[in-house]
Amino acid sequence: MSVGADGLPRSGVPGAFDKAAAAYDGLVGANPGYHAHLRISAERMRLAANGTGLRLLDAGCGTGASTAALLGVAPEAEIVAVDASAGMLAVAAEKGWPPSVRFVHSRIEDLDATGVQGPFDGILASYLVRNLADPDAQLRRFLTMLRPGATLAVHEYSVRDSRIATAVWNAVCFGVIIPAGKLRGGDATLYRHLRRSVNAFDGANVFRERLRGNGFNDVTSLTMPGWQRNIVHTFVAQAPR
């Protein structure tokens, strides 16, 4: 059994999201910039105008915030949105979506078993990679799922390269995120996992090298404005042509 740095088994992460699902949108909606930052990452994929003719994968879609970000920049694209938490997907399903958006319940590692396969013209993975037992194996899978030259965007927390960012992250977690998660949902397990998993995850420099080491080209990263500067980043990488 794979266990994360916080002691929460990787297999237990979807269940923690299930418990938090009902209150999740309210909590993240109180985070200044949460939805805007997802939209920024979607924009950084530089998809063709309106997404006409494109097929996109939203890996780790949760309650659909990242799906909405993709839809906002590529309204004509086909979007396959995948998550391992049935509770989060149930919340997502209650929202209005065009027929071009399809939600799939699956661990991203098991996606082939659902019949969903590439090629995709772009993949957005939001707050996903640090929760995986074997991120390298999944990055290699993403590579095989992309068309030559297509883009992977990883929207993820990464604080280890900055002492200031690390201090701000932990202060916000202890002072706001964990208490608010407990108050809104009655259980702070997910938010304790969030704090510890972010602290344990790659620094931005290391993660860029991880992407290159798993076969991606033209790897870059940009952070977000506001209080999440050097805390949340978009890592953009291209499948070889």
* pLDDT digits (tens), the chain, 241 positions: 343 444 555 556 777 777 767 777 777 777 778 999 999 999 999 998 899 999 999 999 999 999 999 999 999 999 999 999 999 999 999 999 999 999 999 999 999 999 999 999 999 999 999 999 999 999 999 999 999 999 999 999 999 999 999 999 999 999 988 898 788 667 778 889 889 999 999 999 999 999 999 999 999 999 999 999 999 999 999 999 9
* CA–CA gap between residue 13 and residue 152 (Å, rounded): 23
CB 90 within 8 A of CB 21: yes
What is the DSSP code (8-state) at residue 146? E
At 4 the pLDDT is 47
10-238 CATH choice from 3.30.420.10, 3.40.50.150, 3.40.50.1370, 3.90.45.10: 3.40.50.150
At 117 the pLDDT is 92
At 1 the pLDDT is 33
At 11 the pLDDT is 54
Q: So where are the chain's domains? A: 10-238
At 57 the pLDDT is 98
What is the DSSP code (8-state) at residue 105? E
Pairing of strands 55-59, 217-223: unpaired
Pairing of strands 217-223, 146-157: unpaired
The sheet carrying 55-59 orders its strands as 101-105, 78-83, 55-59, 120-126, 146-157, 232-238, 217-223
At 155 the pLDDT is 98
CB 193 within 8 A of CB 16: yes
Give Dmax (Cα) for the chain: 49
Cα–Cα–Cα angle for 87, 31, 57, nearest 5°? 50
Cα–Cα–Cα angle for 37, 14, 197, nearest 5°? 60
At 231 the pLDDT is 97
Dihedral pair phi/psi, residue 235, rounded to 5°: -100, 120
Q: Alpha carbon of 213 to those of 136, 148, 153, 225: distances in Å?
A: 9, 17, 16, 28
CB 77 within 8 A of CB 100: yes
Helix 65-73 vs helix 34-43: angle between axes, to the nearest 10 degrees?
40
